[in-house]
Structure 1
Amino acid sequence: MRILMVALAATVLAGCAGSAMDDARTQAPYKVMTSDKAEKLVAQCVQFAWQDEAVFGVDAGAYLQPGKKGGSTVYTRSAESFVDLSTEPSGTTLNYYAQKDDFVAKRRLAALATCL
């Protein structure tokens, strides 16, 4: 029963985050970056960096899922920040989105930049 409740909660949260991400994708990304590294390695690094409780405190959740159009997406709770990663011939392209231009968004961008 407990497992069912956890699965249901995760599904609901993913649905809420999905609509917020779809809305954000209609706008220009907060920042576009590239990396020479493989997309999966960069995505795992970003997820790990965003889960650092020493930097982000109790809001250190980061989730990795397949991207809407291929690649990967790493996102935080309620999709306050997320990054779409895609493989290009020259490496990996990262489109970073943030709901607010605040200290937390800049801190997540800095953590993301360490993975390039």
Structure 2
Amino acid sequence: MRMLIGVLSLALLAGCVSPAMDTARSKAPVRVLASDKATALVAECIKFSWEDESVFGVDASAYLNSDKAGQQTVYTRGAESFADLVPQGTGTAVSYYAKQPGDAAAMRRLAMLATCL
């Protein structure tokens, strides 16, 4: 039962943030980066680093969404910040988006993302 509630909650959360992500994607990303690492490894690293409560406080939550083409998106609650990861050869292309690009939290998330490349 707990598992079902968790899955439903995650599905609802993904549905709520999708329009915010689509709006952000209609504009240029804050930063485009590249990595020689596999997409799944980079995505897990970003998710893990964005969940660091010592850096982001009690709102240190991150979610990971994958599609069939191998693209992955790591995002925060409300899609305040998110990163689209696309396989590129043997590496990964990363596009970082933030609602408030100059915001201190957005800049910290970008710095944490960069450590995963």
Do they superpose with TM above 0.5? yes
Distance 1:107 1:6, change over 3 A: same
Distance 1:30 1:68 in 2: 25
Match of 2:39 in 1: 39
Match of 2:15 in 1: 15
Q: Which amino acid aligns with 1:115?
A: C
Distance 1:17 1:109 in 2: 19
- Structure 1 position 16, deviation (Å): 0.9
Residues 9-68 of structure 1: CA deviation (Å, up to 9, x unaligned): 322211111111111110000100001111110000000000001100111100111148
Match of 1:113 in 2: 114
| Structure 2 unaligned residues grouped into runs of 5+ | none
Q: Is residue 50–residue 60 contact of structure 1 (8 Å, CA) maintained in 2?
A: yes
Distance 1:2 1:44 in 2: 24
Distance 1:40 1:12 in 2: 23
Percentage identity across paired residues of the two chains: 57
- Structure 1 position 91, deviation (Å): 1.8
Residues 60-98 of structure 1: CA deviation (Å, up to 9, x unaligned): 100111148641100000000000001112621000000
Question: What aligned pairs does 1:62-73 form with structure 2 within 5 A after superposition?
Answer: 62-67=62-67, 70-73=70-73
Q: Is residue 37–residue 90 contact of structure 2 (8 Å, CA) maintained in 1?
A: no
Q: Which amino acid aligns with 1:107?
A: R
C-alpha RMSD over aligned residues: 1.7
Paired residue total: 116
Q: Is residue 33–residue 94 contact of structure 1 (8 Å, CA) maintained in 2?
A: yes
Q: Is residue 85–residue 92 contact of structure 1 (8 Å, CA) maintained in 2?
A: yes
TM-score scaled to structure 2, two decimals? Answer: 0.90
